[in-house]
Every structure is written in structure tokens, then in C-alpha cells.
Amino acid sequence: MSASTAEKINLLGLNRVQLEDFFESIGEKRFRAHQVMKWIHFFGVDNFEDMSNLGKALRTKLADVAEIRGPDVELESFSQDGTRKWVVRLDNGNCVETVFIPDGDRGTLCVSSQVGCALDCSFCSTGKQGFQRDLTVAEIVGQCWVAHKSFGVPDNKGHRHVTNIVMMGMGEPLLNFENVITAMEIMKDDLGYGVAKKRLTLSTSGIVPQMYELYDRIDVALAVSLHAPNDELRDELVPVNRKYPLKDLIAACQEYVRKFNDSRRVTMEYVLLEGVNDKFEHAEELIELLKDVPSKINLIPFNPFPNSGYRRPNGLRTRAFQERLQQAGFVTTVRTTRGDDIDAACGQLVGQVQDRTRRAAQWQQKVQQKQNKIPLHDASANR
């Protein structure tokens, strides 16, 4: 009898070693993993029958015990500036968003790691949604798979549209640590998405203990959501700062540069909120704070969402802030807003998800009510 879908192992979520182990466990040679990885991640195949370099018997055996199951695409939108956004639906009805941003030869995919986020940064719409759950490895990698497939099979030279990946979508990647590490291993692998370590960036709000653990486990680029130059303001904007204050965060950033001991720098992300953290004195404090951290600064003009209570500073103010940091010797860029016509800009990843997430929660409660005959609660109470 065939195994039901629930019992089948989803090969999309296995890194190279895990896939080799899987083949060994079913009595096959380990190198089969390499063939299958290429079919999955390079050719975007989800059917063992299409894997023409595997014998019929192996294909049948695989279909019996395994599957390749990416998330369903609920919506794919195209911005006028070439940005694409996918709303992908996960098994239990939750949705997350993935964004592709083309820029010349470069194509950056912004990937989500959690449904919602528990950290509640005051300017972030994902944070306002609250935390629902961690994504599995297959769900994280599945976002790359969906994006890759939507561009069609790469040409003979293996040119891929996705050249860079940033873990900057919904959620705090370091709070879904193991799954994010395995997913990034697949992203880096030549048989996976072949993204070079410098082109794979993890962005964190500063979960200090996991930052050190990250360095021990994998070599990727590091971005830190700084957003404030002192503890008082950062406590307000990024509440996790109360647990891991700036002194500890800065030490963790210094350790990153020391450990890998090359020319790399930490990217400091700084969302500009008018009148809140964009004044001349903030720039001065920031210069002092970062004087001993090899870093570059990425200013992100605030992307508004309903009832946020914040405003984006105008271009002149933004430019003045940037110039002050540049005068002090910091490479400082201003992130251009991309894809805002399809709500794909930083911090906007929530709108369509929230409606569906709420619908999914209501649906689940209805099912539960049927089963248990319990009264319905307000599905949005904890949001």
C-alpha cells in the first residue's frame, strides 16, 4: 500500500547530507541525492516520473515514500518596476510573502522565515500581526523554488534569475534557527540555488546568543536591524533591545568580523522615521556607536502602513543624514523603495496575508468547534 501524503518525506526540505542519508536509508547509493537535488532545485521538477536519469524501479520506490511539495501560490503580482511578489499558502492555510527585486544583473529574493513575528518592532507591520508559527525548511526553501520556477528553467549556462537571497521577509530568522540554517545550506549549495556566501544575507533584529551560534554553523553575510543609536530609543523601536542591549549587540557584530577575518562588514539597517530617529544628533550618536565596528549603513526610508503613527522623512532630510554618515567615513546607502505598488516594500509584508491568516484561523476554529462542540472565540483577539 502507498504511504499517504502525510507520511511521505518532503525532499524539498533536505540539505545535501540529509538527502544522501535518506537514499542510504532506502538502500540506494548516496550519489542519487545529487541527481535528485538538481532535478528539484535546478529544473524545478516535482514529479519523480520526470527524473529521466533514474531507473523506473527507483522512481516508483521514491513516489511511494517521498514527495516534492512546494507551497501553493495564492497570488503572484508584478510591479511596474519589475519587482514580483508571491503570496504562498502553507499547509494549514497560513500565508507568507516572498519578493523578487531585479536590479541590473542582480536579482534579489527576499524570503520569509516565520508567519508573523513575536518581536513587535513599533514600525513593522509584520510585527503588528503577532507570531503565528515557524516555517519548516521545505516552506522556506519552497519560496526559492516557487520563484525559480516562475522564471522557467535556467538557460544552458545555468544562468539563474535569483542571484542573491536575503532573509528579510516576514519573521525573525534567528528565532527559527535550525530550519533557517538548513534552508540556507540548500540556498548556498551548487546543487541547490548556488548562491555565494556574500550574496546570502541574514537580517536579524539582534538575538545575540543565536548570532554567535550562527557564526559557528554557517558563513553568510550579516545585516543587523539597528534603527536607533542609543538604548533608550532602541528599547522603544525594537523591544528585543531590552533583552539584548546595544553593548552586547555591538560586541556580537565585532565578533562576526573578527571570526571570519576578511574584508567583510556588517550591514547596519536603519529605518528613517521622521522626527524620531533622523535628527542630526542621532547621526552623531550613530557615528560614535559604530566607530569600532567594520560596518556599512543602509538607510531605509520608512514604508508606511495604516495606523503606523510614523512618517517617512523627505528626500532632503534623508540626504542630510546620509551625507553626515558619509563624511564620517561610513559607506552609506539609501534603500530605494521597490514594489510599493504591489505592497512588496520592506515592512509592508502583511496586508493580504493578514486577511487570509485570519480566515484560516476562523476556519480552523470552525473545524475544531464541529469536532469538540466548543463555543467560538474571537479569532482576532490576540492580534
Q: Give the interface with ligand SAH as residue ranges (CB under 6 A).
A: 123-124, 168, 172, 203-205, 225, 269, 271, 300, 302-303, 346-347
Of 12 and 345, the one with the shorter C-beta distance to ligand SF4 is: 345
Which residue minimizes CB distance to ligand SF4?
127
Residue 114: alpha-carbon gap to chain centroid: 8
CA-to-CA separations, 282 to 288, 308, 311, in angstroms, rounded: 10, 21, 17
How many CB atoms are closer than 10 A to CB 190? 14
Q: Which positions from 220 through 239 interact with ligand SF4, judged by CB under 6 A?
A: 225
CB of 130 to ligand SAH, least distance (A): 14
Of 335, 262, 333, residue with least CA distance to 294: 262
Write the DSSP assignment of 151-193 as a string of letters. Answer: T-S--TT---S--EEEE-SSS-GGGGHHHHHHHHHHHHSTTTT
Contact mark string toward ligand SF4, 140..179, x via CB under 6 A: -------------------------------xx-------
Instruction: From 114-122, 156-164, 314-322, 370-378, give the range in contact with ligand SF4 by CB under 6 A.
Output: 114-122
Query: Beta partners for 346?
Result: none
C-alpha cell at 66: 517521498
Question: CA angle at residue 346 from 341 to 347, to 5 degrees?
Answer: 100
Q: How far is CA 96 from CA 56, 84, 208, 292, 304, in A?
A: 37, 14, 26, 37, 19
Give catalytic status of residue 124 as yes or no.
no
Please tell me the count of residues contacting ligand SF4 according to CB under 6 A.
11
* Residue 74 bears catalytic tag: no
Supply the minimum distance, in Å, between the C-beta of residue 102 and ligand SAH. 19
Residue 127 or 229 with smaller CB distance to ligand SF4:
127
Minimum distance, C-beta of residue 204 to ligand SAH, in the bound complex (Å): 5
From 97, 172, 185, 269, the catalytic residue: 97
Contacts with ligand SF4 by CB under 6 A lie at 117, 119-121, 124, 126-127, 171-172, 205, 225
Catalytic positions? 97, 346
